[in-house]
Structure formats: structure tokens, C-alpha cells
Amino acid sequence: MVTKLSIFILVSLSLFSFGFVASREFGINLNSSASGIEFPQHPSFNVVSSSVNSGCNHVTSTSMLTREEQTSIDSQDKDDFAQSKEAVKFHLRHRSDGKTTEVKDSVFESTSRDLGRIQTLHTRIVEKKNQNSVSRLAKDGEKTVISSQFELSGKLMATLESGVSHGSGEYFMDVFVGTPPKHFSLILDTGSDLNWIQCVPCYDCFEQNGPYYDPKDSTSFTNITCHDPMCHLVSSPDPPQPCKTENQTCPYYYWYGDSSNTTGDFALETFSVNLTTPSGNSEIKKVENVMFGCGHWNRGLFHGAAGLLGLGKGPLSFSSQLQSLYGHSFSYCLVNRNSNSSVSSKLIFGEDKELLKHPNLNFTSLVDGKENPAETFYYVQIKSIIVGDEVLKIPEETWNLSPQGVGGTIIDSGTTLSYFIEPAYEIIKEAFVNKVKGYPLIQDFPILRPCYNVSGVENLELPSFGITFSDGAVWNFPVENYFIKLDPEDIVCLAILGTPNSAMSIIGNYQQQNFHILYDTKRSRLGYAPTKCADA
């Protein structure tokens, strides 16, 4: 039953493991870097911008919040802030486009991509790629206020959908970009910061649904110049492009992995959103001067998306750019990836009053400050793992994050399954094997382990699973969040995999399904509440 896809995945796993061993033991770098890519000479890297208003004026004009106003907002308590501004809610729906993808194939493909992503995230920390943009600004003595004067009230509605129909494990969000606004589907990713879209001219682009974004069709597109302080927020191509003229465009390079990267022009654009007013009416509102990447060279397994919407902690992310409007928190509630396409998930910017009233809302602290060497990722500190009411004998130091960025645990919307470092994963897997009784164990099933034949079983009885954090918080998962059923084989598999010791652990979106997840950066905490997201 090992298909061609399965063989490919197994080879990918072998290469993934070898990559870590080789880089750790022999100093071999198997990851491509910008210096290994030859970028064709194209006009956007050397021409004079057509805008006469490029530069800091985009973020310090009278249409923006002043620094004093921003400081005043930041100093307010969350309850006071919630009274003054309503949260905005995005609907995240599933797509139905006539495609059918078997759960098994979707899981295998997502797992292969996950493994590449984990290696990428680790390398980005170790090699400090796409990191420390704030420190670069401080080093250069530059100060940039990332804010926007734009008052909204009511609920902001958009669409976010599962990528299962594309063989992807991510969730997609529908956005409208430019003037006049045009529709694009972007991958939602809490593990990265840069917002970017495939742009005309596309010199090297992956296949997407619908046309590429064309800056010439938008009257609100403005290039950021290479002399603008905002240009320091992005990593430049390697070697850096010389800044020859005052209005030359700002080139960027954002690295995700060997086959995933984007290069193009850093720019400003208007993002339109569908606002539902308190009266229930729908109207289009615009958020101006959103920083984003106009990508002319884009590679990777993005499965039909037009680009990516970053929700990381860094200053470039969509959530960070909206902080002056909605405060320092956002949340989402993801429905089951394989649920009916008409069922929507939710993404909310600002504090959701209903969530804060949830009787089963729990919080754990985010690892911050010196303990977190990467400004992008949301780290949590695991203390122990519980399987079948038994606290597993995993040394607490197994979960620690080193000052160099090795280890630790992040919560990530862009990774499908959950991944725990060795030897913790082996202990978890062994605990399930010892505790699952009555179902035949499948020995040679590819990728996922353990797997069981549950043919004819109506009510599955499987051990409980939970995570205890260092501050005492406990996250207990329903069985459908850590065991995945693969039809039509009537097989259930543990939806957890392992990574080498040098990598990080990740709580992926499969384990986050039907939990309302709250990211509160002001109070440096992660909230989670069991919720039937289809009804939220």
C-alpha cells in the first residue's frame, strides 16, 4: 500500500533527517540562501519610483496616528481599550471547487511540507534570516511608526478557508487589494511576518488561482524607496542591491526554505475589507498604506494561493500593522479541516468580548524577552505531556529554548500536525502503543505511527492527551485533534510526529481545530478555549 507519493514522502523524511545530521555534525549547509540565487536584472530594482510621496511621510502624515497617540493607546488597560473599540471578525470558510482530495494523500503531502517548514524555521533562527528587523532599525538610528489613522466599529467580515481542496494543510484568507480592489486568497501564517502577493511582471512564479496582482492597475500602489527607513524592515537580496538614486525602489528577499522564497519590491497598498456594521448592513472599508511585498520571483509549495498574510510578532505582520486600530491581540477559531465547505472559521482582530467570558478559557505565558531570540514566533514553555492520565517521564529541560534558538515550542497556524523533538516524541509514541488496546496495530504504514485498523468500530476508545505548561496551565485535547482517521482504509493514526533534537517543537493547526486561540502580545500570553467553531 506504499504508493508513489508515499515513497516520495519517505525519501523526503530521510533527506530531512540527514539535513539536520549533516548540518550539525559536519557543518554542511543544505539550505539554499539568497547568495545561491541569481536574480535577473529587472527594472524594478534600479528604476526611479513614479511616486513623489515615498518615504517616511507614509507613516507620519496627518492621516496617521501621532507617536503620542500611539503611546496613549498602548498604555491603556485592555478592558478600557475594549470599551472604546470593537473587535473585527473575519469569516474563514472552506472552499468547494469540485476538487476531491483523499484525506490520506492530503495528510501525506501536508506532512512532507511540514517537515521542510520545520527545518526552515529552525535555520531561519540559527542563521538569523528574516530576523532582527527592529534591531536593524535601532542600529541605524532610525525610528518608524507603523500605524494608521483609521477608525472602525462593528465586526469586520472576510473569508478564510481550508486549503484541503488544494492538498494544503493551511488556511486561506480572502483579501481585496488595490484601487479598485481585486480579490486574492492568501495563506494565513503566524510563523512569518511579511505580507506578500505575486506581482506582475512575474519572472518566476508558482501557479495560483486567478490572475497575478498588477501594480499598474491600482491607483493606490506606492513603492517604498531604498532610502526610506521602512526599507530596513525587510531583508535585502544577497548581495544587496546598490541604492543609486533617491527614489529607487526597495528590494526585499524573504526566505522560507530551499524551495520557498519570495523576492520583489517592498511597497504600500490599500487593503479593502468587508465591514458589518452594528445595524447588520455590509459596507466596504479601506485600510491604507499597508506594507507588503510585491513578489516578482516566488517559489514554493503554496498550492493555489496568491501569496501569504503574515501574523507573526514582527513589525511587518498584518496583525502588528493593525495594532493601532485594534490593540495588541487577535484570535481565530478553526473548524475541522474536512468539514462542509459552507462552514466558516473565524479570525478576529481586537479583543473578543464573548471569548473573554468563556468559562473554559485558559491562558499560558508566551516566552518573551531574552529567552526568545526570534521576534517572529510565538513560543510557549511546555513542562510535561500527559497520556491516558499519566505524566510521561520526559525531562523538563527537553522543552527548553536555548539562547541560540535551539529547541523550544511554538504555536503555528502554518504547520499542519504537531511535532515534538526527540526523545520526547519516542516516549509519547511508546505511551500510546502501550495504552491502546483492542485495535490491530499496523506495522508498516508510511509516515504516521502508531496506526490502527478500526474497521467496524463505531465508538473509538483511545487514551487522553494533554500538555502541561510551566506556569501550571493545562491544554487537554479531544481525541479527534490528536488522532486522524484515514478513509476509506478505516485506519486511525497518531497525528503527532518527531523532529531532531536541534529543531523546535510545534503545536500545529490540526491540534488547534475547534479551539478559540487568542494571541495577546501586550500581556504576553496565549489563550485557548474549547469551542465548536462552526457555531462561534
333 phi, psi to nearest 5 deg: -135, 110
Q: Which of 200, 261, 258 minimizes the C-alpha distance to 235?
A: 261
189 annotated active-site: yes
> Could you give the CA distance from residue 33 to residue 46 in angstroms, rounded to a whole number?
22
Inter-residue contact 399 to 360 (CB < 8 Å): no
Spacing of C-alpha 13 from chain mean position: 22
Cβ partners under 8 Å of residue 524, min gap 6: 365, 366, 368
> Could you give the CA distance from residue 316 to residue 290 in angstroms, rounded to a whole number?
9
> Could you give the CA distance from residue 319 to residue 311 in angstroms, rounded to a whole number?
5
Cβ partners under 8 Å of residue 426, min gap 6: 498
Query: Contacts for 136-139 with beta carbons within 8 Å, 24 or more apart?
Result: 136/232, 136/233, 137/229, 137/232, 137/233
Q: Which of 153, 169, 63 minimizes the C-alpha distance to 419?
A: 169
Backbone torsion region of residue 393, taken as left when φ is above 0, otherwise alpha when ψ lies between -120 and 50, otherwise beta: beta
Q: Which of 193, 228, 258, 412 is catalytic?
A: 412
Per the structure block, which three cell numbers stand in for 383?
513542562
> Could you give the CA distance from residue 193 to residue 71 in angstroms, rounded to a whole number?
23
Q: Check the CA dihedral 205-225-139-191 and report its sign.
A: negative
Spacing of C-alpha 44 from chain mean position: 28
217 annotated active-site: no
One-letter amino acid identity for 144? T
484 strand-pairing partners: 493
> Could you give the CA distance from residue 498 to residue 504 in angstroms, rounded to a whole number?
10
> Could you give the CA distance from residue 249 to residue 27 in angstroms, rounded to a whole number?
36
469 strand-pairing partners: 382
Inter-residue contact 439 to 452 (CB < 8 Å): yes
Q: Which of 189, 228, 258, 520 is catalytic?
A: 189
If residue 18 lies in a helix (H) or strand (E), which one and from where to where?
Answer: helix 4-25
Cβ partners under 8 Å of residue 320, min gap 6: 146, 193, 312, 313, 314
> Could you give the CA distance from residue 70 to residue 82 in angstroms, rounded to a whole number?
16
Residues carrying an active site annotation: 189, 412
